Amino acid sequence: MKPLDIYTLVFMNAFICIGMSVIMFSVHRTFKSEVQGVGHWAWAQLMTLLALPILATQGILSEYVAIPGFNGAMLWGQGMTLIGTQLFYGQKPSWRLFLFIWGLTIAGLMWWLVVNPDFSMRVAIYSLTTFVMYCALIRLVWRHGEKHFSSYFFMVLLLVHAGLNLLRGSVALTLDETSVNLAKGSNLATTYLATSTILVQLLSVVFLVMASRRLKAVLEQRAVEDPLTGVLNRRGCGAYYERLQLHARQADFPLALLAIDLDHFKCVNDLHGHAVGDQVLVFVVGKIRQLLRECDQIARFGGEEFVVVLPGTTVAEARLVAARIQASLKNAQTDLPLCTLSVGIASNASADDDFDHLLQRADAALYRAKNNGRDSIETDHATQSGSETPVGQ
Ligand SMILES: Nc1nc2c(ncn2[C@@H]2O[C@H](COP(=O)(O)OP(=O)(O)OP(=O)(O)O)[C@@H](O)[C@H]2O)c(=O)[nH]1
């Protein structure tokens, strides 16, 4: 069987990498703020690809252009991998350090190319810089990577990359230059080139797996979150209640639910504009949050209606919370045009009641609060006549 020619392998991988970069660039454009670093990873792939034609022009272009061009592009690609990974993990990118190392390495390469030509020293300086960059990446993934196959695989690829470069750098310093010269096609040089090419492609697969996992988390979060106020939406609140039911602890029941609706909010929009209306909604959520415990949840059910879930809270206690919320809005120091709010309360003595039923009861109480002239608190009839102590306003 005829062995696969190394240049065919490099060429095929280059095309696959271009495809991967295009996917990464489109992920970057669509989810720029949610998934950071993917654009840098895409650039890393492109820089590595750019280096290949520069390498191929050796003999055509002057070596004073081709050699620093090839090494500079490769090192830049590795730097982009490092910066992209730092951004992905929410770390501060070390641009200055990278530029310093990049500049120093290129200066060293030029020294051993122009002033004191020495091929082995050039290979050694490039390989050892690359080794250091991969070590920094391994440390980064080790510290911040999630405990998932993609992180472990990422680390294995980086370890192989680092090991290969350490080996090549050491051989360059100890053996003759032919064994590390990629243009001479020695066994070691061919193995290095083939392995590096495959590793670069596998790295792009890892980047895409990591980015898609992050995207999945972002989309899941978006599905349960209200974009304006950042609190749970109806779906998220239902899921939270189901979790409470699933892990029902004695301490979570009785559980009280407040259905809160701003009074005449339409006037705020009509008089001050929709943007101010939005600010009022965000302000109200902030105020309510300040009065809640860590275990409580607030959700926005659309428009100017909110729901607060208070685990382990009796109706009497829930009324106190509702009254405190009303008072804090009335006494709030702000230039925003605030309005009063009406509250309906319902309570569950056990985890058996489903969320929709509890919500219906709280809504019915809210409806009565609105009919009673607004700015008031009403308790659900079933709660009053059940095990809970009725509480007068
Ligand atoms: N600014 C802003 N307004 C919203 C949003 N969602 C719904 N609204 C407005 O909220 C108002 C709700 O009006 P209504 O249902 O009549 O309620 P209301 O004026 O508060 O009257 P009552 O509830 O009966 O006291 C409408 O003007 C909606 O346009 C939003 O996200 N931002």
Q: What is the DSSP string of 201-260?
A: HHHHHHHHHHHHHHHHHHHHHHHTB-TTT-SB-HHHHHHHHHHHHHT--GGG-SEEEEEE
Distances in Å between the Cα of 261 and the Cα atoms of 253, 264, 295, 303, 367 are: 24, 9, 22, 9, 10
| Interval between CA 267 and ligand 1 midpoint (Å) | 8
Residue nearest to atom 12 of ligand 1 (CA): 266
Q: What is the DSSP letter of 374?
A: S
Please tell me the distance from the alpha carbon of residue 263 to that of residue 376, in angstroms, as a whole number. 10
pLDDT tens digit sequence for 73-96: 999 999 999 999 999 999 999 999
Which regions in the chain score pLDDT beneath 50?
387-393
Query: Where are the strands (E) in the chain, listed by range?
Result: 255-262, 297-300, 305-310, 341-348, 377-379
Beta-carbon contacts of 163 under 8 Å, excluding residues fewer than 6 positions away, are none
Ligand 1 close to Cβ of residue 371 (< 6 A)? no
Please tell me the distance from the alpha carbon of residue 85 to that of residue 138, in angstroms, as a whole number. 10
Does the predicted TM-score (pTM) go above 0.80?
no
The identity of residue 357, as a single letter, is: H
| Interval between CA 271 and ligand 1 midpoint (Å) | 12
pLDDT tens digit sequence for 187-246: 777 777 778 878 888 888 899 999 999 999 989 989 999 999 999 999 999 999 988 888
Residue nearest to atom 8 of ligand 1 (CA): 303
Partners of residue 343 on adjacent β-strands: 260, 377
Ligand 1 close to Cβ of residue 274 (< 6 A)? yes
Q: Which numbered atom of ligand 1 lies nearest the CA of 274?
A: 1
Phi, psi of 284 (to 5 degrees): -60, -45
Residue nearest to atom 31 of ligand 1 (CA): 303
- The one catalytic residue in 294, 304, 305, 378 is 304
Residue nearest to atom 18 of ligand 1 (CA): 264
Fold classified for 234-385: Alpha-Beta Plaits (3.30.70)
ipTM score above 0.90: yes
| Interval between CA 339 and ligand 1 midpoint (Å) | 12
- pLDDT for the residue 184: 66
Q: What is the DSSP letter of 300?
A: E
- pLDDT for the residue 387: 46
Please tell me the distance from the alpha carbon of residue 140 to that of residue 82, in angstroms, as a whole number. 9
Ligand 1 close to Cβ of residue 265 (< 6 A)? yes
Residues in the chain: 393
Distances in Å between the Cα of 108 and the Cα atoms of 5, 98, 125, 265 are: 33, 15, 7, 68
- pLDDT for the residue 49: 81
> How are beta strands 341-348 and 297-300 bridged, if at all?
unpaired
Three-state SS at 171: helix
Q: Where are the domains of the chain?
A: 6-221, 234-385
Ligand 1 close to Cβ of residue 262 (< 6 A)? yes
- pLDDT for the residue 125: 94
DSSP-H helix ranges across 57-118: 63-88, 95-110
Active site residue 242: no
CATH of 6-221, one of 1.25.60, 1.20.1070, 2.60.40, 1.10.10: 1.20.1070
Q: Which numbered atom of ligand 1 lies nearest the CA of 280?
A: 1
| Interval between CA 327 and ligand 1 midpoint (Å) | 21
Please tell me the distance from the alpha carbon of residue 174 to that of residue 14, in angstroms, as a whole number. 32
Please check whether residue 211 is in contact with residue 89, taking contact to mean a CB–CB distance below 8 angstroms. no
Mutation probe of ligand 1 site: the residue of 229, 233, 265, 341 with most atoms within 8 A of C-beta = 265
Burial label for 318, CB within 10 Å (0-12, 13-18, 19+), is: buried
Please tell me the distance from the alpha carbon of residue 257 to that of residue 356, in angstroms, as a whole number. 11
- Cα angle vertex 92, ends 86, 96, to 5°? 95
The identity of residue 151, as a single letter, is: S
- pLDDT for the residue 391: 37
